[in-house]
Homo-oligomer: A and B are copies of this chain.
Amino acid sequence: MENLPSVFAKNDLYDLESLPEVSKDFTHFLYKVRDKFGLDDVAYAGMNPINGAVFGYVTYDNDWKQHYTNQGYHRIDPTLHKARRSIAPVDWSRLERDEHFLAVFNDARDFGIQAQGMTIPVRGPYGDIGGLSITSGLSVRDWNKLKAEVIVNLQSVAVHVHDMVIRSDSLSNLLRTPTLSQRELEVLQWTSAGKSQQDIADILSISNRTVEVHLRSARHKLYALTTAQAVGRAISMGLIYPG
């Protein structure tokens, strides 16, 4: 692992909270992963639960990247589709040969992308989901061998990348979002847990009118029309947790 960035140092791999501002150049990071493990291409796709947008970092050629984006393939890409429904890594050879598969993979082949690969899904606490994909042009035999060797490491890489991306994303959001006061967060958190205003008033030993004020204030700060919307936004922004 000596050639990889410091985030790969064993002691730091899971110790992300203490990391300094490590390379936010995720693409560069993926190149490192690709070279280290002898892969053809490495790609990460993440979905922002806030706006449903799909974004990614890839080592693919710009041509394919462009084509993929232009065609809106992220909407039908069977690798993403399947990864969304799986816990364990998905080998592409398992994918159903439906029209979507053919559309994407035939095009990919024309752009010189290997059809052999797999996707490792990762999930976070806010409904966020990511997928780390790798491709290889090795023979089936060698590919299976390579998979066996790198699968364990890639599982960690996937978690790591996703964690970094989500952190940087929610961090930037945090800077843009009005900071909710402690009380507002508390009230919103309890609301997310299914409590009524009166319940929360009892829990916090304050008046139900005060609870209402905090909720109203939270709604305003989140530009939410209803409390339900405010709860949804707060959760997706990582301000509170689903109860």
Instruction: Identify the A interface with B (CB < 8 A).
Output: 10-11, 13-17, 49-52, 84-89, 91, 94, 118, 120-127, 129, 144, 147-149, 151-153, 155-156, 159-160, 162-163, 166, 191-196, 224-233, 235-238, 241-243
Question: How many angstroms between the C-alpha atoms of A148 and B121 in the bound complex?
Answer: 23
Contacts A155-B155, A191-B226, A194-B229 hold; do A87 and B163 have CB atoms under 8 A apart? yes
- Counted per complex, copies of this chain come to 2
Q: Which of B84, B152, B238 contacts A127 (CB 8 A)?
A: B238
Contacts A49-B241, A166-B87 hold; do A123 and B123 have CB atoms under 8 A apart? yes
Q: Is the CB of B235 within 8 A of A235?
A: yes
Question: How many angstroms between the C-alpha atoms of A207 and B44 in the bound complex?
Answer: 42
Question: How many angstroms between the C-alpha atoms of A50 and B238 in the bound complex?
Answer: 10
Q: Is the CB of B151 within 8 A of A13?
A: yes
Q: Is the CB of A14 within 8 A of B232?
A: no
Question: How many angstroms between the C-alpha atoms of A242 and B48 in the bound complex?
Answer: 10
Which residues from B are CB-within-8-Å of A127?
235-238
Q: Is the CB of A10 within 8 A of B151?
A: yes
Contacts A123-B123, A156-B155, A191-B226 hold; do A238 and B148 have CB atoms under 8 A apart? no
Question: How many angstroms between the C-alpha atoms of A225 and B199 in the bound complex?
Answer: 12
Which residues from B are CB-within-8-Å of A13?
148, 151-152
Which residues from B are CB-within-8-Å of A15?
91
